[in-house]
Structure 1
Amino acid sequence: MASDGAFTPSWLRGKSVTPVPAGGQVDAALARRIEAGCRAVGAPYLIAAELGDGPGASPGTTSRVSVSTAGTHIRPPFVLCTPGLQGAVLFPRSGYALIAGSTAFMASAVGEGTDTARAHFGRYARALSDRHPSLSVVAAEYGPVHRAWTHPDDVAPTSAAARQVALLDAFADGTCGAPDFAHGWWEARRASQAQGERVQGPLGALFDQVFMLLEDYAVDPEFAEPGDLDDAGLKAAARAALDAFRHSESGRSRK
């Protein structure tokens, strides 16, 4: 920790961080995030360090706590970290906590993506600005890195979301097979979430459709279940979704 009680820049290098809403103690929602992150990096327990005066402990007291922290009644100011420092949760005061860590830790602890979590926290801070103005300061410091993309033309060309768009185009046009499309899409989706990219509106709806289609598709036919899509069925459904999307986009451009 830095002298001001924040994460040190050297530890944050190569990691991401986001604020999340929190009450007066580690509640169920925050506990689920912590547990998911710990499982992702194989952390068997957490180290809890008190950052200030607290009931029953002197400043600097550390202890080992269970990964499942929902029932431990941990109250701020505290920091929780994995033994290997792959992830940490800084709980400086009631109202919010900062979750930070490696790609693997954050992908599970903040499954919606870092930027989405930051955007959500911004809305939370605005809603409580009259009673808790300090939350707005935190939200301003940790604003989304990427703006939310609504249409393909908005998407940064080097992003993982752009890779998803390219894969869908290639699959629908017949230059990419179903197994390669499925593998590539899931890989790009994981990368997009890990990088905190956000899609919304029409493009977000299209991505959601493709996600649902791939949920009903087995790359290996041996693992297919009754009702699952085969290669041809996946291609037909994906092409129909993309055609409908392109039609709506062309209507938008004529307005």
Structure 2
Amino acid sequence: MNKEGNRGVGRKEDGAGDKGLRDIAFGEPCSFRREWLAEGDKRVVPLPSRSGADEHLARRVSSGATRAGHDHVVACRVGAAGVEEPGFEIAATQEDIVRRAPWRDGAFLLALPDLTGALLVTDERYALFAGRAEFLRGGIPEGADQAIVDFSRYAKRMGHGHPALLAVAGESRPVQMAWASASDVAEGSATAKQVALMESFAADGISGEDFAEAWLDARRQSLRLGERLREPFSRILDQVFYALDDYVIDPGLRDADDLTNEQLQIEIRARLDELASLADAPGRGEPGED
């Protein structure tokens, strides 16, 4: 029996239309429908998940629902054919969500009653948290960009046994944030290219001249795109720039006090050692590798 009877569980409220839970998500592949995401400028954030509505996910849903002005959520299973209606109501508290969303196998959905936000829990070690701004502010207090970076780290650790994690991480990119270490950097970014060039030069994969030209070009691209770095990551790449300022790309124009290829390589290897020593940010209490 629904907590408050059959008062339109899982139907949009306040004249928002008559779409139901089935309009939120697919079953295979387990994901949110593009049409639903497009309504109200929603954003998707991937999260680590062991199985079921664990306390971490329940806390996020509870906080998001409260911030969005709701005292309950609607729960239902998601099968191969999609969302299995009807859903049932659960009070929007961490304790009630953990207790009354009992599924530990298969996918399921926890949605706000007006369907403006939802958590989609899969059976592939990840969940998707999506909705409008208020739901995300409550449920993702560290910010969507930081949560995406944290999930990317998780996917790299777990991806060997769960390849779907790497695919999900690849589809999720930070909008704008300051990267703290090389492991944070988005693939395909200009900053990622700078680090890759450093690694290639240090391993004798490219010449000093080719490295200098390509790295400086990537540096200019990074600045043009507005990519932001935190200290000391920013300082380490600045030191590469300063080293290249003492390096003349054209061998015929080098003076005795200019850096040689060998000296430049020593400098780059030292900077890579510093990058490797940057500790990853502490975990935020999300599920680990067990």
TM class, shorter-length: 0.5 to 0.7
What fraction of aligned residue pairs are identical, expressed as a percent? 30
- 1:88 matches 2:112: no
User: 1:82-130 CA distances to partner (integer Å, 9 max, x unpaired)?
Assistant: 0112210011224111000111110110111111111110110110122
Alignment of 1:1-255 (within 5 A): 1-3=24-26, 4=28, 5-13=30-38, 14-52=41-79, 59-68=84-93, 69-72=97-100, 73-75=102-104, 76-146=106-176, 148=178, 201-202=230-231
Give distance in 2, aligned partners of 1:147 and 1:201: 9
> What is the TM-score with the length of structure 2 in the denominator?
0.49
Q: Secondary structure at the match of 1:202?
A: coil
Give 3-state SS (helix, strand or coil) of 1:93's partner: coil
- Structure ID, larger Rg: 2
Q: Counterparts of 2:232 and 2:45 in 1: how far apart (Å)? A: 24
Q: 1:130 to 1:38 in 2, by over 3 A?
A: same
CA contact under 8 A between 1:50 and 1:79: conserved in structure 2? yes
- Residues 2-39 of structure 1: CA deviation (Å, up to 9, x unaligned): 55542222221201111100111111111111111011
- Structure 2 distance, partners of 1:18, 1:35, is 16
Residue 120 of structure 1 aligns to a residue in which SS? helix
Superposed displacement of residue 45, structure 1? 0.6
Aligned to 1:163: none
Residues 115 and 198 in structure 1, CA contact (< 8 A), matched pair in contact too: no
Partner amino acid, structure 1, of 2:230: G
User: In the superposition, relative to structure 1, how do residues 110 and 135 fare at CA in structure 2: closer, same or farther (>3 Å)?
Assistant: same
Q: Is the 8 A contact 2:178 2:230 kept in 1?
A: no
SS in 1 for 2:122: strand
- Mapped partners of 2:139, 2:178: distance in 1: 21
Secondary structure (helix, strand or coil) at the match of 2:159 reads coil
SS, match of residue 31 in structure 1: helix
Is the partner of 1:71 in helix, strand or coil? helix
- Match of residue 215 from structure 1: none
Aligned AA (1:143): R
Deviations 1:209-236 (A, max 9, x none): xxxxxxxxxxxxxxxxxxxxxxxxxxxx
Distance 2:120 2:69 in 1: 20
| Distance in 2 of aligned mates of 1:44 and 1:2 | 22
* Alpha-carbon shift at residue 199 of structure 1 (Å): 6.5
Q: Which amino acid aligns with 1:60?
A: E
CA contact (8 A) 2:51 2:125 kept: yes
1:148 is displaced (CA, Å) by 2.8
Query: SS of 1:19's equivalent?
Result: strand
Gap change, CA 1:105 and 1:25, over 3 Å in 2:
same
TM-score, normalising length: structure 1: 0.55
| Corresponding letter in the other structure for 1:66 | A
Which structure 2 residue ranges, 5 or more long, are not aligned? 1-23, 181-225, 244-290
Q: CA deviation at 1:70?
A: 2.3
1:100–1:106: 8 Å Cα contact kept in structure 2?
Answer: yes
Instruction: Check whether the contact 2:76–2:85 (CA below 8 A) recurs between aligned residues.
Output: yes
Unpaired segments ≥5 residues, structure 1: 151-196, 205-247
Q: Report if aligned partners of 1:115, 1:144 keep a CA contact under 8 Å in 2.
A: yes
Q: Count matched residues.
A: 162
Instruction: State the distance in 2 between where 1:124 and 1:107 align.
Output: 22
Q: Which has the higher helix share?
A: 1
Inter-partner Cα distance in structure 2 for 1:200 and 1:39: 33
The residue type equivalent to 2:59 in the other structure is: R
SS of corresponding position for 2:47: strand
SS at match of 1:85: coil
Counterparts of 1:70 and 1:2, CA distance in 2: 21
CA contact (8 A) 2:44 2:129 kept: yes
